[in-house]
Amino acid sequence: MLARHNLQRAGFDKRRASPHIGGDDSQKAAVSDPYDDFPGYEPVAPRAGGIAARALAALSPAPDFISALNPEQREAVETTEGPVLVLAGAGTGKTRVLTSRIAHILAQGQARPHQILAVTFTNKAAREMKERIAALIGPSAEGMGWLGTFHAISTKILRRHAELAGLKSNFTILDTDDQMRLLKQILRAENIDEKRWTARTIAYLIDNWKNRGLAPKNVPAGEAQAFANGKGGAIYALYQERLKILNAADFGDLLLETLKIFRENPDVLKDYQQRFKYILVDEYQDTNAVQYLWLRLLAQRTDGGKPNLCCVGDDDQSIYGWRGADVDNILRFEKDFPGAKVIRLERNYRSTGHILAAAAHLIAHNTDRLGKTLFTDGEDGEKPQVSGVWDSEEEARVIGEEIEQLQRQNHSLDEVAILVRASFQMREFEERFITLGLPYKVIGGPRFYERLEIRDALAYLRCTAQPADDLAFERIVNTPKRGLGEASLQIVHDYARRQQIPLMQAARVLVETEELKAKQRSTLRALLKDFERWASEIGQTPHHELAEKILEESGYTDHWKQEKSAEAEGRLENLKELVRSMEEFPDLGAFLEHVSLVMDADNADGGARVSIMTLHGAKGLEFETVFLPGWEEGLFPHQRSLDENGRAGLEEERRLAYVGVTRARRRAKIYFATNRRIHGLWQTTTPSRFLDDLPAAHVQVTENRGSGSGYGAYAQSRFANMDAFGSRYDTPGWKRAQKNGPGGRGPLTIEGEVLSRSTPTGAFAPGDRVFHQKFGPGSVAAVDASKLTIDFDKAGRKLVLDSFVEKTSK
DNA sequence: CGGAGCGGGATTTTT
DNA sequence: TCCCGCTCCG
């Protein structure tokens, strides 16, 4: 038993250590010998008619991945029919089960690769899964077209049926940044006090509604009126309208709109239900209401049979409640899917006995859990250590010293991690490590595609490829600074809004008139020309070269070259990296799609370094030695979690502590400080109540000032009784909105370009007295469609657009 | 238009 | 205390 678990460990480590270069490295994985995973593995004769025998016939050489599993894992892999819930504790071989299960289904010939739906939460998880499947079964893993994140798979489906959701199949996916800008516009238009109700707050609300599967019309009335002076719901509706006009979807829409399509189009749903013979879900405890509803629909068998749905997760590691994940989904599984088989994986292959005992004891204090107890056949090892320090400064110093000590014992720095509750804690460690000259890396900073320069560059590409992309246009119209500021943009904006046309379209009309100052007009005209020229090169020039050209000719790269800061260098590097990465895609469109959904910051660099990251960021990772600083009341458990979510919040914090402890293979070191600076003020702190949740017999206490915190009374969750499952999309308003499209009376457009649009003719005639916001009163001299030549009383003769003037009585 | 100066807010984060 | 975003002024 021990021998096998060592084998498995070796297998896991090896996979994890293999660097991901990006792009398509399935090739590499496919040629590598699957037995590499199991050094010292001794083959067993294939059972007649068994998997090995079958697989051998189809492929050669075929690994017998089944016999490398423990009995529970094996049961989870071989129970392919009917609903299965695999409760996989930390370090019990969860990914191994998922990948082996897929390999098994394929090897048995029960389904073809494209008939398996395998869903993950992160791109990283999806990528790893694909690699590991390829390692098991070879190149046929390539056919797994439906292995991906909830969002990626939803996007794929949504593009196919976009028109059913009031979108065109080339819709843009907005990120948080775009969302904010859009919301700000709406808030301003609605006269909402942006100090009282920030775009961030509203975005959070909308996101929450979407996570719960609620379209604007389904938001409970009380809730819709509880925000933004009673306009919360209305703003959500307006926001959705604007998205449709922009032919755009935000992350929440990807799922919500797909769900809506499934609900309203039984034929479409049926098609997917028949397509997916087997469904697998990773990290099921992290699913939210929409994802749950989405899955439940897809899993339903058209013949009324039981769904072949396999969900893998760990209720004890559910730490994303604050962003909509609902632990109840996993707790309810057996009720949701009658006849479900629940398999517990409790044999841990990662940590030593004391660490496991400490973690198990800690998490046992939670009540909302299915319950499982991890065990190991391995050695007891060192007891987790709990130490008290005077303040956060001493904490950083002591941890620094301990790491140097480990370093002297040849402990690799790659195997050391510091896991903090909140990112402000990182700074103290960084400062200390810089003084010590201890190499470190901070994991989970801004992602590659979220960086300023990358977002700017992408906005240029979006404007080129999708001229109707207003948000992109707004972003770069004055970046680099070209003198097209707020005032000029406002004019373009006003016109576009009034005519309901995209900004670029509006700009094109405006440069023909004198609404804008001469200087701005010529700058804008030049910019529009640039975009036209670049657009004409799509399909001609290879897209990565075109991108480079755009960044050069727009002056964007120069803009950073001129800024001689150390930061600017890095930004230029990132831009180069962006262009380089484009080569892997067939065309600009494919690249933009990838980027909005998938791109990760994958900065692999040499040299061993200590990792500093948040506890959230550490989920799924493991280290030889883990430092857990800041176990103090108010910080961990975090006060806000307690205040906002009461007991549920506390339990989630405790799960976070559990995740932290279980990241350690051999050494876990917990710290609490008695003084900590919070918002600039030094405060005396109390040791975390989680310290008292640890079993004395399995913990080594270096110093303890005792913890005397009592449990306060926690506010009850405000929306405890909201029911997401009663949501419907058949309200008259929603239907109308879908049928007519946003606003219902926009101009006729194709791909965002206006086909026909005319201002009512005859509205103005020569001799009319008019008033212009900027030029004041004047008389119409001549009319040319929507363009008016006007003799202004003060400003003289100007060519302006009719929509900017008002008729005044003579 | 863009820089300086002021006030408010300050968990966790993926897609 | 520190950082970001907004406002005001040159």
Over chain A, what is the mean pLDDT? 82
Closest residue (Cα, C1') to B8? A195
Which nucleotide is at minimal CA–C1' distance from A321?
B12
Note the pLDDT tens digit of each residue in A282-330.
999 999 999 999 999 999 999 989 999 999 999 999 999 998 999 899 9
The yes-or-no verdict on residue A362 having pLDDT over 80 is yes
Cβ–Cβ contacts within 10 Å for residue A526, how many? Answer: 11
- Choose the catalytic residue: A242, A244, A663, A676: A663
Chain centroid, CA A739 distance in Å: 31
- What is the spatial distance between Cα A770 and Cα A780, in angstroms, rounded to a whole number? 7
DSSP class of A384: P
For A688-706, what is the HEC assignment?
Answer: CHHHHCCCHHHCEECCCCC
**Active-site option among A282, A514, A622, A652:** A282
From the candidates A74, A94, A383, A455, which is the catalytic residue? A94
What are the two backbone dihedrals, phi and then psi, of residue A310, each rounded to the nearest 5 degrees?
-120, 115
| Residue A580 pLDDT exceeds 60 | yes
Amino acid, res. A689: R
Report the DSSP pairing between strands A700-701 and A385-391: parallel
Closest C1' nucleotide to A319's CA: B12
Name the residue with higher pLDDT: A58 or A198.
Answer: A198
Chain center to CA of A339: 33
For the CA of A195 and the C1' of B10, the distance in angstroms is 16
What pLDDT score was predicted for residue A762?
54
C-alpha to C-alpha distance for A70 and A143, rounded to whole angstroms = 28
- pLDDT tens for each residue of A22-54: 222 232 222 222 322 222 233 344 455 566 555
Tell me: pLDDT of A666 over 50: yes
> CA–CA separation, A670 vs A626, rounded Å?
9
Chain B bases closer than 7 angstroms to a protein Cβ: 1-2, 8-15
- Please name the residue whose C-alpha is nearest to the C1' of nucleotide C1: A680
Q: What is the token pair recorded at A714?
A: 């926690």
Separation of alpha carbons A413 and A607, rounded Å: 9
* C-alpha gyration radius of chain A: 30
CA A136 to C1' C8, whole Å: 65
C-alpha distances out from residue A208 to A216, A597, A758, Å = 12, 20, 40
- Residue scoring higher pLDDT (A451 or A162): A162
Closest nt to A201 (CA→C1')?
B9
pLDDT value of position A298? 97
Integer distance in angstroms from CA A482 to C1' C9? 21
CA-CA distances (angstroms) from residue A66 to A5, A72, A83, A103, A142? 14, 11, 20, 10, 21
Per-residue pLDDT at A236 exceeds 90: yes
Identify the residue with better confidence: A186 or A716: A186
Of how many residues is chain A composed? Answer: 810
User: Is A95 noted as a catalytic residue in this protein?
Assistant: yes
Q: Centre a 10 Å sphere on the Cβ of residue A45 and count the other Cβ atoms it contains.
A: 9
Is A663 a known active-site residue?
yes
Strand C: list positions under 7 Å from protein Cβ.
1-2, 6
Please answer whether residues A798 and A775 qualify as being in contact, where contact means their C-beta atoms are separated by less than 8 angstroms. Answer: yes
- Yes or no: say if A637 and A704 are a contact pair by the CB < 8 Å rule: no
A283 a catalytic residue: yes
* pLDDT, position A315: 95
Residue A282: active-site member? yes
Nearest amino-acid residue to B12, taking CA and C1': A616
Nucleotide nearest to A176 (CA to C1'): B15
Q: For residues A748 and A777, give the distance between their C-alpha atoms in angstroms, rounded to a whole number.
A: 33
